[in-house]
Structure formats: structure tokens, C-alpha cells
Amino acid sequence: MEVHRQTCQNCQSRELHNILKREPGESDKVYVQCARCGEMVSRYIIAQGGYYHHGKGFESYLRGLNRGGAYESAKEILGDFGKIQNVCLAEFEEIKKKVEEKGEEG
């Protein structure tokens, strides 16, 4: 596993803002903006069912899926949400550890 903390290519700041963009008929996107100089750092395209906002719960996840329109059964969705929640938490703990090990060079 490789972890990498993003840095602004313009001013080397690690203070970044994530801006979520939603547009009907398009995949959700995240634009990462430098909080210090305002430059765009990167853009991510979120896969269907791939957005998990921790602490926002199942209804929020469901609204995200609704926009994509891919799921059929409620049971399937609930099962996936539980899995995603656990996977995200476990993975986040893992990457946090890795980032701490790496220290400032990120």
C-alpha cells in the first residue's frame, strides 16, 4: 500500500479544500483547492456508489445513489452501506498510520 498526502504544487501548502461538484447526468466530482493560494490542486471523479461521507448516515448515502440511479433492492443497498462504512473506517485508520510513519515528507 502506498499513501500520499497531497501538497499544492504552487505554494507547497497542505491546507486544502475539497469542493464537491454535482451536476445531473454527470458523475460527481471533487475539486481540490489550495486553502492558502487558491490554485487548483487536483480533481477526482467519484465512481457510482463510491462516495461515503462519514457520520452522515445511510440517508445521505441513499441520496447519493438516487442521483446515479443504479440500485434496485433496498436490502442490497443497506448491505453495501454497512460494508462501505466498515471498509472506509478500517482503510482510514490504516492510511492515518502510514501517513504518521512518513511524517512531514508525506
Q: Any contact of residue 10 with Zn ion (CB under 5 A)? A: yes
Q: Any contact of residue 13 with Zn ion (CB under 5 A)? A: yes
Region at 85 (left for phi over 0; alpha for psi -120 to 50; beta for the rest): alpha
Q: Any contact of residue 66 with Zn ion (CB under 5 A)? A: no
Q: Any contact of residue 51 with Zn ion (CB under 5 A)? A: no
Q: Any contact of residue 61 with Zn ion (CB under 5 A)? A: no
Number of residues in contact with Zn ion under rule CB under 5 A: 8
Give the largest Cα separation in the chain, rounded: 47
C-alpha radius of gyration, the chain, whole number: 16
CA dist 44 → 41, 53, 78 (Å): 10, 15, 25
**Footprint (CB under 5 A) of Zn ion, residues 17-36:** 34, 36
3-state secondary structure of 19: strand
- Binds Zn ion by CB under 5 A, chosen from 6, 11, 89, 91: 11
The residue ranges that bind Zn ion (CB under 5 A) are 8, 10-11, 13, 34, 36-37, 39
